[in-house]
Structure formats: C-alpha cells, structure tokens
C-alpha cells in the first residue's frame, strides 16, 4: 500500500513538471498582444537562423521585449522582416541597429539592439524600420566559406604553377639569369677598362688643350688677317670688273651683235680646214709617195689578141 502511494506521488510530480514545462514554453513562444506594447519593424539581410517567435529582444544587454512575427520581405528579395514588441521606451528607429546574437550553445538566437554610431553607413530599409545584421557566427561562417574557396583556388593555381613543365621553365629561366649575371660581370670589367681608357684620354686632352689654345691664337694672329686681306682684295677686284663691265656695257652689246656672226663663220672655216688637214694626213699615212710624185695613174690591162 505504501509502495503504491509512492508511485502515485512520483507520477503526479513528473506529470505536473511536464505540464509546467509545456505551459512555460507556450508562454515564451506566444506573442504578447498587449495593446500597450510598442511595436518596431526590423529588416534583416541574410539568414535569421535560430530566431523564432517569442525570442528575446535586448537593448544594451537589457531585456526589453520579444519577437512577435517573422516574415519574408516580399518587395526586397533576400531580406527578412521581424516584428518585435516592447514595453520599454527606446530611441527612434533611425538611431538604432539590430544584430542577431547566439544564445549560448542552444542554437537559438536573440536580437540585440544597439545605438547607431554617427556617420555609420547602413543599407537602405523601409521608412521606420531598423536595419538588422546577421549573427557574428553566420558572418564568420560565410567568411570561412569564402576563405576556403579562395584557398582552394590558390592551391589549384599553385599546383598548375608547380607542374613539371613550369618547373623546367623556371630552371631554364634561372640558368639564363645566371648566364646573364656572368655576362654582366664580364661586361662590367670591360666597362671599367673603358672608363680607365676614357680617363687617360681625358688627361691627354687636358694636357693638349694649351697647345690647341696657342695654335688657335697663332691662327687668329697670323692667318686670319691674311685671309681677311685676300678677301678684301678679291672684293675690290670684283667691284672693279663690275665697274668696267657696267661702263662698257653698250660696247660689249655692239661687239656681240656685230662680230658674233663673223666669229661663227671663222669657226666654221676653221672646222672645214681641220677636216681637210685630217684627210690629207690620212692619205699621207696610206700612200706617202703621193706627196712626192703626185697621184699615180692606175694601170689598165690591155687584152692580147
């Protein structure tokens, strides 16, 4: 009898505890529809995983309300509207931002409201809405995924770079670089020798400069006056010839007009005479006896009967 009483007592306690937990959970999850609550709309970009109706809302670490509704934004894809209710006096929506914060290791999330810093850039939201950002865990997960993808791409490129053909090309490049360094070293020695020769030439030129200066002074002293005097004499002679031609221009014109045909005729006669002399010289070379005995009569053969 006593054993049955203990079983009934334990069963009743367990049942009462389960009912208490159930009603407590429903109380947490149920939205507070009290008309005295102030409602604010939050607009999140990205995932709101872990957030549910009834989740806690905090402002500067103090609990100020709970989540009343969660819906997708139909006008802006990729955004989530979260309606919260609070019975506390909060700053204007334009001065607040919202962030998801993980609630321990439960996998649940809460909303942390924070003051917007002056000059802080946020994305555009609907009028009266508070911009919301995903949790740090979600951001880190996304960043980790991008970092992993970047690392994989880098490793793939590194594998392509370190393949056999690339390594052979690298060895050839290093060999050519080594050869170029040796050639540069040899060229550097030749360049040093060239600089030394240039220095010697410069020294010799510097030593010869006084002689060049003395020669130039001597030329300027002796030769240039003589050249100048010769130039003046030529100029005077040219002026005299020009004066003579100018004074006798009419006589020269008359001489050319009258005597030029005679000169041309004389030239023609001289040409004929020279031609005749050439012919006579040719005959003398061919028959020198003709000059002494005259021209011989050609023999005529008489036929015999």
What's the pLDDT at 176?
85
How many angstroms from the chain centroid is the CA of residue 179? 30
Task: Place 140 in a pLDDT band, splitting at 50, 70 and 90.
Answer: low
* Ranges 130-134, 204-208, 213-217, 235-239, most confident: 130-134
What's the pLDDT at 9?
75
Residue bearing tokens 């690392």: 151
Residue 100 resides in a domain: yes
pTM listed for this prediction: 0.38
pLDDT tens profile 45-98? 888 888 999 999 999 889 999 999 999 988 888 899 999 999 888 999 899 999
Q: What is the dihedral of CA 139, 144, 147, 153, to 10 degrees?
A: -130
Query: Domains in the chain: how many in total?
Result: 1
In whole angstroms, what is the distance from residue 94 CA to residue 122 CA? Answer: 11
Question: Is the CB of residue 43 less than 8 Å from the CB of residue 132?
Answer: yes
Residue 189 resides in a domain: no
User: Poorest-confidence range of 26-30, 204-208, 249-253?
Assistant: 26-30
Task: Place 292 in a pLDDT band, splitting at 50, 70 and 90.
Answer: very low
Collapsed DSSP state (helix, strand, coil) of residue 295: coil
What's the pLDDT at 255?
64
The DSSP 8-state label assigned to residue 95 in this structure reads G
Task: Place 182 in a pLDDT band, splitting at 50, 70 and 90.
Answer: confident
Residue 183 resides in a domain: no
Residue 75 resides in a domain: yes
Structural domain that includes position 117 = 28-135
In whole angstroms, what is the distance from residue 82 CA to residue 75 CA? Answer: 14
What's the pLDDT at 256?
62
Residue 99 resides in a domain: yes
Of 125, 110, 96, nearest to 48 (Cα)? 110
Residue 36 resides in a domain: yes
């Amino acid at each position: 009898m006593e054993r049955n009483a203990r079983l009934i007592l334990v069963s009743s306690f367990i049942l009462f505890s389960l009912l208490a937990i159930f009603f407590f959970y429903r109380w947490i999850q149920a939205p507070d529809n009290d008309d005295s609550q102030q409602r604010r709309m939050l607009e999140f970009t990205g995932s709101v995983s872990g957030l549910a109706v009834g989740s806690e809302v905090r402002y500067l670490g103090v609990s100020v309300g709970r989540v009343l509704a969660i819906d997708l934004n139909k006008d802006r894809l990729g955004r989530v509207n979260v309606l919260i209710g609070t019975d506390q006096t909060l700053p204007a929506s334009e001065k607040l931002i919202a962030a998801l914060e993980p609630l321990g290791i439960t996998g649940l999330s809460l909303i942390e409201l924070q003051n917007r810093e002056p000059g802080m850039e946020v994305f555009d939201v609907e009028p009266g809405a508070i911009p919301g950002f995903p949790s740090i865990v979600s951001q880190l997960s996304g960043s980790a995924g991008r970092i992993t993808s970047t690392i994989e791409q880098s490793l793939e490129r590194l594998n392509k770079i370190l393949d056999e053909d690339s390594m052979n090309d690298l060895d050839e490049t290093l060999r050519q670089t080594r050869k170029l360094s040796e050639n540069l070293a040899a060229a550097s020695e030749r360049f040093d020798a060239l600089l030394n020769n240039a220095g010697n030439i410069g020294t010799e030129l510097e030593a010869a400069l006084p002689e060049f200066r003395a020669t130039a002074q001597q030329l300027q002293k002796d030769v240039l006056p003589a050249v100048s005097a010769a130039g003046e004499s030529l100029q005077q002679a040219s002026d005299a010839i020009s004066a003579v031609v100018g004074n006798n221009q009419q006589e020269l014109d008359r001489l050319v007009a009258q005597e030029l045909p005679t000169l041309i005729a004389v030239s023609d006669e001289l040409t004929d005479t020279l031609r005749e002399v050439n012919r006579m010289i040719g005959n003398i070379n061919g028959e020198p006896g003709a000059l002494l005995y005259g021209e011989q009569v050609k023999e005529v053969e008489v036929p015999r009967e």
